[in-house]
Amino acid sequence: MKLLRELADNAADFASTVGGVTLFLGRTLGQAPRALLRPSLIIEQVHNTGALSLVIIMICGFFVGAVLGLQGYNLLLRFGSEDALGTAAALALIRELGPVVTALLFAGRAGTSLASEIGLMRATDQLTAMEMMAVDPIRRVIAPRFLGGLIAMPLLTLIFVAIGIYGVQVVGVQLFGVDQANFWSQMRSSVSIDDITEGAIKGCVFGFACSLVAVYEGYTATPTAEGVGRATTRTVVISAVLTLMLDYMLTAVML
């Protein structure tokens, strides 16, 4: 009986959270057109979430590509098809690793920054002060940050993939001596626009999900140090789980 009650309570909590997120998203999207009228606020957030994440994205992109080069070369060597390294690595990066790893890094770097910033604004009455000045914080704070994340994430994915392919090339071509012409020509002939579209769609969807989670968790954070800390942690955990779940669903649909 107690177990049933707990299950019912959890289900009610879950439904309440889903309802809360939906309403929040509705308000954010409702304010998005007005936020777009002030592009400087959005550009600032693209800088905060995108440009400031560039270093980590580029370093991780290079090493993910380099590891892919190492593993891919050793695997393909067994079948005598090491020239296909460029194709295999590019497809893996464009369709899967690029969007997914970028989203995980985005959640860790930009998502936590957004959640803690907004949570601290809540804790220090800055959001209430805006409301008292008749300024809707959803329009002034949340919508620009959400849109900034939404724009930055696909761009970061693009950069991650490009640097990742460079990492594969460094290991495959320069270290192991895979033929450079084959490496690039096979990649160009095998990677189709559909593959790029799949990666781009994933980048946009993950950007939407990770940005929404970050701004929602920050906005609804308990206004204490512990509450802000918890919101930051939840942002990473929920974004990571959501990214991998959405990745499975999108891959199943687009295969």
Binding site for another protein (CB under 8 A): 120-121, 124-126, 128-136, 140
User: Of the two residues 36 and 135, which places its CB atom closer to another protein in the complex?
Assistant: 135
Judged by CB, which is closer to another protein: 96, or 136?
A: 136
Residue of 127, 122, 115, 123 whose CA lies nearest to 216: 115
CB of 184 to another protein, least distance (A): 45
Amino acid symbol at 214: A
Closest distance to another protein from the beta carbon of 121 (Å): 8
The CB-of-220 to another protein minimum distance in angstroms stands at 16
Cβ neighbours, 10 Å, residue 186: 19
Asked if 166 and 65 touch (Cβ cutoff 8 Å), the reply is yes
Is the CB of 26 or the CB of 177 nearer to another protein?
26
Burial class (CB in 10 A: 0-12, 13-18, 19+), 202: buried
CB of residue 140 to another protein, shortest distance in Å? 7
Report the residue number, 103 or 110, with the smaller CB distance to another protein: 110
Report, in Å, the least distance between residue 120 CB and another protein: 8
Could you please report the per-residue DSSP string of 144-160?
Answer: HHHHHHHHHHHHHHHHH
Q: How far is the CB of 23 from another protein (least distance, A)?
A: 13
- When the beta carbons of 130 and 170 are compared against another protein, the nearer one is 130
Alpha helices, H only, 37-179: 39-49, 54-78, 85-91, 98-106, 112-123, 126-132, 137, 143-169
Closest to another protein by CB, 124 vs 189, is 124
Q: Which CA distances in Å does 204 have to 72, 114, 122, 197, 207?
A: 27, 18, 28, 10, 5
